[in-house]
């Protein structure tokens, strides 16, 4: 019998020993940047010190400082993970590979969590199925909350995004040793992670580091202006009792930063020229005076193939688990529109006309979902489709979870178990779990996962490209149906 010892791979910083499981090997907790400590938490990522000997890469490592996230009555722990696993050396990647020494497509995943939570330790982000199907899968931790995204005078903006770019640099330098092709890298992310991917698409510093991108329920219009960000910074400094300057923040412990971040909800970010792109749900986002969709329209990321989509009932996650969906009123619908759009009455009228049978809960959810993800995804898709050097593909994930008495629906994050082909995990099933009590269609995970792999390998997921005339979109459910220009009336309202 042939006993393979656990494989050792040599990276530019030192050797790492992974854990072989059947035909795949996982390497966990490999640093891609120096530990962000003290003032370094507010500096650009720096290279990690080399190490001597072989570093053990068989156990999960620490993650970014964060508080535990709860979303009402739905169990989101497979998504958020179990909170903060402490340790300063958390700017790390996990790598799953079928063979050390191939030339395989590489996929690099950026987790979501509202810019304040999430982790490579989350059960949903197990890369084994990707490795099984001939992909080298990389997941990464990045700075979150105040350390990652607060815009502080004297510190570079969007430090969490700079971390993702640094991880892509690590991939470019090291992934061949794990069997990956550094010339065929697909960057993908979900929610805040997808908004970061849109930001990286528009970041000149990332040019040449990846070839394709997948944006799952993100937004190309999700960034705060510097004026909006400054309000959050003043509020954070006030909570901490310090001056809003980088050296004052550098003296504050991670625990206090995490605690302060959790007290920043509800800041009014309306300005004379801009509404709050996150409609009050998070005080952290990218900070850019030009939205990623506008930068892409101007030509950034023009050579990157893009797969982009949203879920049919994104907004349900913010209403159903907290008991606000069924109790929604006409006033709640108007309020959602007022937070989202310069002409709220016209917006509500458009949605009513498009959905004559809809309940107040459905209208409220649809407006929230489009304010957060739909409008910003349509804008990014349209901007990118105007560039002839690469292809744009759109999807809509429509399979409904029957969790929470059948109400959770095709909500935010429900596509992830299918993309990672982990829909069988027991913690995803049950009346209060993400996928609900019913079994999903037998081949949905296999097909969806295979489609993402196919896009990473070839740049074509298997349906017609999106352009601004037809807006071809694959609607993914028990059956897959290509539709042209879904939701055209509602889409128009955001132009």
- Residue 463: CB atoms within 10 A of its CB come to 16
User: What is d(CA 116, CA 100) in angstroms, rounded to the nearest whole number?
Assistant: 34
Question: What is the pairing mode between strands 24-31 and 92-97?
Answer: antiparallel
Provide the CB-side half-sphere exposure for 52 (13 A, CA).
0
**Rounded Cα distance, 461 and 395, in Å:** 10
Q: How far apart are CA 72 and CA 62, in angstroms?
A: 26
Q: What is the DSSP string of 398-458?
A: -PPB-HHHHTSBS-TTTTHHHHTT-TT-GGG-STTBTT-SSPPPTTHHHHHHHHHHHHHHH
Among 9, 184, 179, smallest CA distance to 99 is for 179
Tokens encoding 190: 């979900």
Contact 139, 127 (CB under 8 A): yes
Q: Which of 318, 312, 367 is nearest to 493 (CA)?
A: 367
Do the Cβ atoms of 57 and 17 come closer than 8 Å? yes
Q: Which of 225, 189, 213, 375 is nearest to 293 (CA)?
A: 375
d(CA 254, CA 252): 7
C-alpha 174/C-alpha 432 separation (Å) is: 41
Strand partners, 189: 110, 215
Q: Say how far apart CA 116 and CA 93 lie, in whole Å.
A: 18
Of 278, 363, 354, the residue nearest 319 (C-alpha): 363
Residue 287 sits at the vertex; the CA angle it makes with 37 and 396, to the nearest 5 degrees, is 110
281 Cβ partners below 8 Å, 6+ apart?
114, 318, 372
List active site positions. Answer: 191, 314, 412
């Amino acid at each position: 019998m042939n006993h393979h010892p656990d494989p050792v791979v040599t990276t530019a910083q030192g050797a790492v020993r992974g854990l072989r499981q059947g035909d795949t090997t996982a390497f966990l907790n490999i640093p891609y940047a120096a530990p962000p400590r003290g003032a370094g938490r507010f500096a650009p990522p720096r290279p990690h010190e080399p190490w001597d000997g072989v570093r053990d890469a068989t156990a999960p490592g620490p993650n970014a400082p964060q508080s535990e996230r709860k979303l009402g009555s739905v169990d989101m722990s497979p998504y958020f993970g179990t909170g903060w696993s402490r340790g300063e050396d958390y700017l790390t990647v996990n790598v799953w590979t079928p063979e050390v020494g191939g030339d395989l497509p590489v996929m690099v995943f950026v987790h979501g969590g509202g810019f304040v939570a999430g982790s490579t330790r989350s059960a949903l982000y197990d890369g084994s199925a990707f490795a099984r199907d001939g992909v080298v899968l990389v997941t990464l931790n990045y700075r979150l909350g105040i350390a990652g995204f607060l815009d502080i005078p004297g510190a570079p903006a969007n430090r969490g995004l700079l971390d993702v770019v640094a991880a892509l640099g690590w991939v470019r330098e090291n992934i061949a040793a794990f069997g990956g092709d550094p010339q065929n890298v697909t960057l993908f992310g979900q929610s805040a992670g997808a908004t970061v991917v849109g930001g990286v698409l528009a970041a000149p510093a990332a040019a040449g580091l990846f070839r394709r991108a997948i944006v799952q329920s993100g937004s190309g219009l999700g960034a705060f202006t510097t004026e909006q960000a400054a309000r959050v910074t003043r509020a954070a400094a006030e909570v901490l009792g310090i001056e809003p300057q980088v050296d004052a923040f550098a003296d504050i412990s991670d625990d206090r930063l995490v605690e302060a971040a959790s007290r920043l909800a509800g800041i009014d970010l309306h300005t004379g020229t801009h509404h709050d792109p996150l409609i009050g749900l998070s005080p952290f986002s990218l900070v850019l005076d030009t939205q990623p969709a506008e930068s892409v329209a101007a030509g950034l990321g023009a050579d990157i193939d893009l797969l982009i989509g949203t879920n049919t009932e994104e907004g349900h996650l913010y209403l159903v688990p907290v008991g606000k969906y069924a109790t929604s009123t006409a006033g709640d619908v108007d309020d959602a529109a007022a937070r989202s759009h310069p002409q709220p009455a016209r917006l509500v009228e458009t949605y009513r006309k498009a959905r004559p049978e809809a309940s107040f809960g459905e209208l409220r959810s649809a407006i929230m979902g489009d304010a957060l993800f739909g409008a910003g995804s349509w804008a990014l898709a349209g901007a990118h489709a105007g560039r002839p050097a690469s292809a744009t593909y759109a999807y809509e994930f429509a399979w409904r979870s029957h969790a929470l008495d059948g109400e959770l629906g095709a909500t935010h994050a429900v596509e992830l178990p299918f993309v990672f082909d982990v829909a069988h995990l027991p913690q995803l099933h049950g009346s209060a779990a993400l996928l609900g009590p019913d079994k999903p269609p037998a081949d949905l995970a296999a097909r969806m996962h295979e489609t993402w792999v196919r896009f990473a390998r070839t740049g074509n997921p298997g349906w017609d490209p999106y352009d601004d005339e037809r807006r071809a979109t694959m609607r993914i459910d028990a059956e897959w149906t290509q539709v042209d220009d879904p939701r055209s009336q509602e889409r128009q309202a955001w132009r």
